[in-house]
Structure 1
Amino acid sequence: MRGHDWINTCLPDELILEILRRLDSKASHDACSLVCKRWLGLDRLSRSTLRIGASGSPDIFIKFLAQRFVNVKAVHIDERLSISLPVNTGKRRGRAENALTSVKLHYTDQTRPDKEDDCESFCLTDSGLTAVADGFSKLEKLSLIWCSNVTSFGIMSLGQKCIFLKSLDLQGCYVGDQGLAVVGQYCKQLEDLNLRFCESLTDSGLVELATKCGKSLKSLGVAACARITDKSLEAVGFHCKSLETLSLDSEFISDKGVLAIAQGCPLLKVLKIQCINVTDRALIVVGVSCLSLEMLALHSFQQFTDEGLRSIGKGCKKLNNLILSDCNFLGDMGLEAIATGCTELTHLEVNGCHNIGTIGLESVGKSCPRLTELALLYCQRIGNFALTEVGRGCKYLQALHLVDCSSLGDEAICSIARGCRNLKKLHIRRCYEVGSKGIIAVGENCHSLTDLSLRFCDRVWNEALIAVGQGCPLQYLNVSGCNQIGDAGIVAIARGCPELSYLDVSVLQNLGDMALAELGEGCPLLKDIILSHCHQITDIGLSHLVKNCQMLKLCHMVYCPNITSAGVATVVSSCPNIKKVLVEKWKVSPRTKRRASSVLSYLCVDL
């Protein structure tokens, strides 16, 4: 019957709650909460996660949130998030309670922007953390990111009341050993602990926690904690037999600590180390003892050689992800040992390891047929033949990243294009030997490519993009700094890639209004566009672009001399979903500033 509310009459609360739990986005939840008071109440019951940015009076906000969202199990508080006004503040700007139905909170008061007291009001304190503990009794996951006013007293209150806590992230929090000890005493289900940049912690706190709740701990991250040493890792190795993930970044941890973990935690699957005092000795024991290792990341190692990697290749047969960054003494022999021993390898990143060359990567192409992602950054000694072997042997490769690899050119890219036809992502930056021939081969062979970035590749011409536009369903394209590309190449993309959502054409001196008009006609799904340093585009081109691109959210157009205040106003007024416009401040008219100050960002601000 028309006008009758069949849904609310027939559906019980339990069924509506189940529908709300299956929604996959916050926007969908927000829309459902606006249907009626009943749905608003049920939506609040269904919410399990809260994300809170820098908020005015956060301690008070949390008390209100706890009253409304009683089934929350995860709380993320990140004080790095910017403080911004809503688009239309109107007369209700001072009523903080109106924003409480939103999961992600932002608050600002422009009346006293220069007072230090206001800065303090945006920081969570122990009182707010106590409110979290009192209000969210079912809490399982808590992230406190750079909450610098939280101390051990707040963490102690949390530990005593949130006994179901499984994950605790204290990145950048100045908490002490007492709080960590209490968490260990009461939170017997704790599995994940992140202590990055917790400068006030010492061995005492971490040892106490490992002793009391080590049986459940599965993941531990320690970085920039000057007073956490090998003693802590020895306690973790002795008590935390179920540890699966360890991330270390410290100048004060040596072989002794890593050896304790390797020998005491046989279930270790993920190991990330950036410790300048760790040597081959530790890595050899990891290869012997950690047979379940699946991911290994070694950063800035100066004290070990290929011997350590040979041990990993010999023992860690399940390794599928390897990152080698700034390891100056690793060479082809070490990478060859990994390739021949770890044939399940799917992800490989080599970054700034100047002794790794063509021979090492050839071995990967010959021995690792399951490779799906390869990143080569600042690898000057790797030549074309290495990627020829990858093209022959790694048929499942889906992503290739190349940065500053001066010896790689069109021959390498052609080999990848012909051999790896499942390629979906290709990112190339400052590889000056790569030109149109290689990219044409990609367009002709890689018909699943959706993500292409060719930054500062000045040998790529329009014909390359024409081939890509005819053969690849691109959604992401970055050709920033490719000086030879002009209207013809971008027009081909506009006509051939209707699903394009991101485009960066900055620093293209030959790009004009014709390309923008074609983008407006052919790419209605475009959300982000970067036009900075394009000297030929004008307000006319912008008007054609935004006419049909109604989903546009971001537009950068600094250093575009032919774009005026009228063009800026056109973008702001024509795009209902616009979130950010980056432009010179002097190009914004007073009227535009009044209408859309919240979405405007400026290259330069008044000092």
Structure 2
Amino acid sequence: MVRHLAKKHQAIEACGLHYAPLQSLSSDPKSQTLIPNFANIDRTLLLSDELLLDILSRLPLSQRNPNSLVCKRWLNLQGRLVRSLKILDWDFLESGRLFTRFPNLTHLDLLNGCLFSPRDSGILLTHKLIWMQMSSGFCSNCKFLQENLLPAEAVDKGMQALANGYPNLRRLVVINASEFGLLTVAEECLTLQELELHKCKDNVLRGIAACENLQILKLVANVEGLYTSLVTDIGLTILAQGCKRLVKLELNGCEGSFDGIKAIGQCCLMLEELTICDHKMDDGWLAGLSYCENLKTLKLLSCKRIDPSPGQDEYLGFCPALERLHLQECQFRSKKSVRALFRVCESVREIVIQDCWGLDDDMFRFASLCRRVKLLSLEGCSLLRTEGLEAVSLSFKDLESLIVVSCKNIKESGISPALATLFSTLKELRWRPDAKSLLVSSLVRAGMGKRGGRFFKRT
């Protein structure tokens, strides 16, 4: 009891209130209060729920969890302040306790809650998309996650409960839902703006197409070693015709071709950011990007190939509004595909390349097709040499920022006077091709970043 009261006193003081329990005025039993334990009465009972809720909402997030331990009333009030939650136990949703405990949720992540996971296992499976406990009989060749998913009927039942309990839902993450479950959410949760769907198929996307106000969408169709599903041009076309207000779209492990990307570009006129991860696209899909007239950011992540047969330049086109091109952990296997990619992205102002396999001087020279680049960032490009960096950097007449990190074949000894002159005119330079680099300190003494100032000279 003493510890409980001390914690309550600390929480009350954190809210800006003063706790001053009444004490007896005298040791005389006649002068003591007739109310038992009057000194221990909770003074916050004098405050209405609305007033106390307003006070608790003004506290830092770091204090909210400790405050919920004060008493049942504070626990319930604290639950009304929670807006985002990740469900780890599906029973918590099915029993209805979720809606009683957290009545005002707007962001829900059901991914881990849809998995059968042994509680007593000491083995933890982690992936960039999920994490879960697993048994010792795991086989790397099996679709482990696929075998431990809740059936679609159970997921749909939970989705229906969510739609009824949270009509103001704005963000949802779910796996193995069917068209029916998604359609229920789309009809009841009209404010839904962000959806992350794992293990989806073409027919499931009919439910997504009913989300007319959806702005951010992530589709994860196939994850090697975990589960498989199929999204093709049919699903992408259904998606494009239904979700016309999309601003950000991520396609992870999806199939498709020129027709699917073209449909997205023609229908989703507000699309500004497109992320394609580990794609299974057919040859020629790059040409479909030219139909995304308002696209500003293109990201390719973990793609084992770009487009082996992109076609002729006159059919490629380009994205007129594109400003940023991000390539991360991609494999550059074909000069033709790399050239086509930079041709489509010739209007970009930022190029970021990180840990991409196969990027050598010959392939990197195609980046010179992008004449308006202001920021160039290279990280983990081990095959790139100083000569290739110089050839491309000098072709960027508007270059203002250059970042070179962990590119071991870029040597300071190979820096020419022309490249040194470029360095001195940059507004930003992060130069760490290896741990022994001393160029940055030398450039600071030379006046780097001051246009018209002294240039760095080789010694």
> Normalized against structure 2, the TM-score is what?
0.63
Please say which structure displays the higher CA radius of gyration: 2
Q: Which residue does the alignment assign to 2:203?
A: 307
Q: Which residue does the alignment assign to 2:16?
A: 137
> Which among 271, 280, 289 is matched to residue 390 of structure 1?
289
Q: Residue type of the partner of 1:331?
A: V
**How much does 1:183 deviate?**
3.2
Q: Residue type of the partner of 1:496?
A: K
> Which among 156, 166, 185 is matched to residue 286 of structure 1?
185
> Which among 258, 265, 270 is matched to residue 365 of structure 1?
265
State the identity %: 20
Higher mean displacement: 509-518 or 264-273: 509-518
Could you say if the C-alpha distance between residues 483 and 385 of structure 1 is closer, same or farther in structure 2, counting changes exceeding 3 Å?
same
Q: Which residue does the alignment assign to 1:545?
A: 443
Q: Which residue does the alignment assign to 1:297?
A: 196
1:478 match: secondary structure: strand
Spell out, residue by residue over 1:170-192, the C-alpha distance to the aligned partner (whole angstroms, 9 max, x if none).
Answer: 7999879855843354469x44x
Answer yes or no: is 1:458 the counterpart of 2:321.
no
Q: Residue type of the partner of 1:339?
A: A
**How much does 1:337 deviate?**
1.2
Q: Residue type of the partner of 1:284?
A: L
**How much does 1:410 deviate?**
8.0
Alignment of 1:190-209 (within 5 A): 190-191=80-81, 193=82
> Which among 73, 83, 96 is matched to residue 182 of structure 1?
73
Q: Residue type of the partner of 2:319?
A: C
**How much does 1:227 deviate?**
6.8
**How much does 1:399 deviate?**
0.6
Q: Which residue does the alignment assign to 1:106?
A: none
Distance, in Å, in 1 between the alignment partners of 2:314 and 2:97 is: 46
1:164 match: secondary structure: helix
Q: Which residue does the alignment assign to 2:147?
A: none
Q: Which residue does the alignment assign to 2:217?
A: 322
**How much does 1:442 deviate?**
6.0
Contact 1:486 1:508 (C-alpha < 8 Å) held by counterparts: no
**How much does 1:459 deviate?**
5.1
Could you say if the C-alpha distance between residues 252 and 372 of structure 1 is closer, same or farther in structure 2, counting changes exceeding 3 Å?
closer
Tell which has more relative contact order, 1 or 2 (C-alpha 8 A, sep 6+).
2
Q: Which residue does the alignment assign to 2:107?
A: 245
Distance, in Å, in 1 between the alignment partners of 2:93 and 2:240 is: 33
> Normalized against structure 1, the TM-score is what?
0.50
> Which among 61, 84, 92 is matched to residue 228 of structure 1?
92
Distance, in Å, in 2 between the alignment partners of 1:451 and 1:168 is: 41
Alignment of 1:404-415 (within 5 A): 404-409=303-308, 411=310
Q: Which residue does the alignment assign to 1:378?
A: 278
Q: Residue type of the partner of 1:291?
A: L
Q: Residue type of the partner of 1:316?
A: C
Structure 2 segments unaligned to the other structure (5+ residues): 18-48, 116-154, 223-227, 450-459
Distance, in Å, in 2 between the alignment partners of 1:460 and 1:172 is: 54
Q: Which residue does the alignment assign to 1:166?
A: 57
Q: Which residue does the alignment assign to 2:242?
A: 341
Structure 1 segments unaligned to the other structure (5+ residues): 1-125, 139-158, 194-218, 552-607
Q: Residue type of the partner of 1:249?
A: L
Q: Residue type of the partner of 1:230?
A: E
Distance, in Å, in 1 between the alignment partners of 2:372 and 2:110 is: 44
Contact 2:431 2:437 (C-alpha < 8 Å) held by counterparts: no
Q: Which residue does the alignment assign to 1:441?
A: 343
Could you say if the C-alpha distance between residues 345 and 306 of structure 1 is closer, same or farther in structure 2, counting changes exceeding 3 Å?
same
Contact 2:300 2:327 (C-alpha < 8 Å) held by counterparts: yes
Q: Which residue does the alignment assign to 1:401?
A: 299
Could you say if the C-alpha distance between residues 243 and 322 of structure 1 is closer, same or farther in structure 2, counting changes exceeding 3 Å?
same
Distance, in Å, in 2 between the alignment partners of 1:169 and 1:414 is: 56
Spell out, residue by residue over 1:70-122, the C-alpha distance to the aligned partner (whole angstroms, 9 max, x if none).
Answer: xxxxxxxxxxxxxxxxxxxxxxxxxxxxxxxxxxxxxxxxxxxxxxxxxxxxx
**How much does 1:397 deviate?**
0.5
Distance, in Å, in 2 between the alignment partners of 1:384 and 1:168 is: 55
Q: Which residue does the alignment assign to 2:425?
A: 522
Distance, in Å, in 2 between the alignment partners of 1:413 and 1:129 is: 72
Alignment of 1:591-602 (within 5 A): none
Distance, in Å, in 2 between the alignment partners of 1:420 and 1:258 is: 38
1:259 match: secondary structure: helix
**How much does 1:349 deviate?**
0.3
Q: Which residue does the alignment assign to 1:15?
A: none
Distance, in Å, in 2 between the alignment partners of 1:432 and 1:244 is: 41
**How much does 1:344 deviate?**
1.8
Distance, in Å, in 2 between the alignment partners of 1:173 and 1:164 is: 11
> Which among 411, 415, 420 is matched to residue 319 of structure 2?
420
Q: Which residue does the alignment assign to 2:434?
A: 532
What value does the CA root-mean-square deviation take over the aligned residues? Answer: 4.4
